Structure 1
Amino acid sequence: MALKVIHYPHPTLRHVSRPLMRVDAELRAMVDEMLELMYEHEGIGLAANQVDLPYRLFVTNPTGDPDSPESERVFLNPVIVRGAGTAEGSEGCLSLPGLYGPVVRKTSIRVQAYDLAGNEIDEELTGLAARVFQHETDHLDGTLFIDRVPPSHKASLRDELEEFEIDFSSKQESGDVPSDKSIADRIAELERLRT
């Protein structure tokens, strides 16, 4: 299946992802495709929801550089165990292209997850890596960065968000995007296969 980045307000972006129970060749191929899409769209993180998959999985490369594969990370079933400190920073999202807003995040977090080989990850992340992990974990819980911007700033995004909503609605009406029911049925089937 060819993956593509979906845009707000696609229902899968609000879907709470389910933990993965198994990794196979097909899932590894999906991860490779997610990394390619992340670079193609000049991102530094991409969650499964953003490519219309209901799995607790995301990929990151805080450098954003495809020529730095040593910085690539794959996180399966990620959990934030604890966090410390806070800082505000500007965030954007590949599912809301062109939109940015200030978001307060923890500056240091302890995380647990698994990699594709099934090895447990248990480490402290700081700075940009911590921000990206929190942003992508939010995605897996159906939360977008626009949910975390201050109300005063969100008001300034309203017109652009409405444009996304109108565009999505017209694509559903024309059949370019499946109906909400078709999307929900597909998500349920994908969950049945892997979670």
Structure 2
Amino acid sequence: MSHTPPLHPVERPLPAEAAGGICREITEIGNPVLHHRCADITEFGTAELSQLLKDMFFTMHVAHGVGLAANQIGLDLRMFVYDCPGERGERHIGHVLNPELQVTGEYLITRGEGCLSVPGASRELTRPASVTVRGHDWRGQPVTVSGTGLFARCLQHETDHTDGALYVDRLTPEERSRSLAQMYDNRAAVMAERAERALSMARS
């Protein structure tokens, strides 16, 4: 998920979770892997999973994201990572495998939302203001993550990805069309910036 205007992102320090990671290509809307429920992870604690998490964190930061699901780098796996600011300036960093989401409050919030797989576009979307996600970490230990505000939106956005849904699927047909038109207008600039950033971060 992205929450800042694509061409004017906010820089954040690279988290320790990204150390040793490489940048993967981000899949875009229309790729079949983004449009069906992903497969549950049944084998935990592997070196492959550990490296995948590093790559996902690194890729997310290259693209100025606050969340990234495995199918956004082409993998049919039910997992996501996040590095999302909280409402009081705190920084939420973590990952969830096989996430299951529960809405925990009655309030709804409408705000702009974007997606790394719909590059250069954003639209206002109404979502619950408070949620909890349960799943596992990469070692197979139970994980429970609760969030409000922007972090709640991030948890919902990424869990949606593992279910095969994009934020544009929650828009009206007219708003979806506007979002895709915005993507077509801005995509080239966003992709060029990502490529330049990937090279720069790989050297540092």
TM-score tier, shorter chain, comes to: 0.7 to 0.9
Match of 2:6 in 1: none
RMSD of the alignment, in Å? 2.4
Match of 1:103 in 2: 125
For the residue of structure 2 that corresponds to 1:92, the secondary structure is: strand
Q: Does 1:125 align with 2:173?
A: no
Q: Is the 8 A contact 2:70 2:77 kept in 1?
A: yes
Question: Residues 123, 60 of structure 1: CA spacing in aligned structure 2 closer, same or farther, 3 A cutoff?
Answer: closer
Q: Does 1:83 align with 2:104?
A: yes
**How far off its partner does 1:8 sit?**
1.6
| Residues 3-42 of structure 1 mapped to structure 2, 5 A cutoff | 3-23=24-44, 24-42=46-64
Q: Does 1:73 align with 2:94?
A: yes
Q: Is the 8 A contact 2:120 2:182 kept in 1?
A: no
CA distance in 1, matches of 2:180, 2:112: 17
* Percent identity for Structure 1 against Structure 2: 32
Match of 2:75 in 1: 53
Q: Is the 8 A contact 1:15 1:49 kept in 2?
A: no
Whose helix proportion is higher, 1 or 2?
Answer: 1
Structure 2 counterpart of 1:156, from 178, 182, 192: 178
Question: Residues 55, 151 of structure 1: CA spacing in aligned structure 2 closer, same or farther, 3 A cutoff?
Answer: same
TM-score, scaled relative to structure 1: 0.74
CA distance in 2, matches of 1:117, 1:75: 11
Q: Does 1:92 align with 2:111?
A: no
CA distance in 1, matches of 2:83, 2:137: 14
Aligned residues: 160
CA distance in 1, matches of 2:129, 2:26: 28
Q: String of CA shifts for 1:30-63, please: whole Å, max 9, x gaps.
A: 1100000000010000001100011110000003
Question: Residues 20, 106 of structure 1: CA spacing in aligned structure 2 closer, same or farther, 3 A cutoff?
Answer: same
CA distance in 1, matches of 2:152, 2:178: 27
Q: Is the 8 A contact 1:102 1:150 kept in 2?
A: no
Q: Is the 8 A contact 1:110 1:125 kept in 2?
A: yes
Amino acid at match of 1:149: L
CA distance in 2, matches of 1:74, 1:31: 8
Q: Is the 8 A contact 1:87 1:106 kept in 2?
A: yes
For the residue of structure 1 that corresponds to 2:81, the secondary structure is: strand
